[in-house]
Every structure is written in structure tokens, then in C-alpha cells.
Amino acid sequence: MKLPLADVAPVIRSKNAGPFHLTFDIMFADPRVFRHLVDTGQISRERFARSYGLRPDEVRWTVYEPALGVKATIRRSSASGDPADGDVYGCQQHAPLLLWDVDLPGPLTTEAGR
């Protein structure tokens, strides 16, 4: 069943990682949902890069199993606080991730809160 990522990942956020980088976290409550999405490539560096118009090699990507999460770090298009910067704290840059559709098998869908 297809669901928005926001329905199965209780933490999806972005923030500054210094004045020139943004970091993004996606964390899951259910280890089986996390593992399924990572193993099937539905949560990946390549997909993240496409969402932000980047090449995969421009994304620092870490899968961190103990936290049931992934972290992506990218360069900002302008420095934090620059007049061209529309989000000085970087805390609104995760919005495209909220709309990702993910496909879960029936049992995981039920356990993920649906």
C-alpha cells in the first residue's frame, strides 16, 4: 500500500549544519518499516538527490541503524543569513520529503498506524 512518508516516519526534519550546509533526518519508530524502506531503495541517496535537483555524489548519506534513521547533508545554495537565503535556520527544507510516497506490504502498513 502506498503511503506518504510522513505517515510512517514520525521524525522528518531539516536544519543548518553550519552556515554552508543543510542536514536532513528521517527517523522511524518501527525497525521493520525502516529496514524495508532502506532495503528496497525507497529511502536512498539517489531518491533524495533527485528531490533536491542534485547529483547523488553531492549528498552525504548515512544510514544509522541504532536510531532507525537516515541522515543526508548537502551544501546550501546560499549561506545562512545571506540576503538570498529564504530560510535562515534551514528548518523548512525538509518539506519535499513529506510528500514522498512509500510502498509497504499489508502487515507493515497496519503496524505503521494505518
Domain layout of the chain by residue ranges: 2-111
Query: Digits of tens for pLDDT over the chain (114 positions)?
Result: 999 999 999 999 999 999 999 999 999 999 999 999 999 999 999 999 999 999 999 999 999 999 999 999 999 999 999 999 999 999 999 999 998 999 998 767 655 554
Predicted local confidence at residue 109, as pLDDT: 66
DSSP 35: H
Predicted local confidence at residue 13, as pLDDT: 98
Using alpha carbons, select from 23, 20, 24 the residue that is nearest to residue 85.
Answer: 20
Predicted local confidence at residue 9, as pLDDT: 97
Q: How many whole angstroms from its chain centre is CA 76?
A: 16
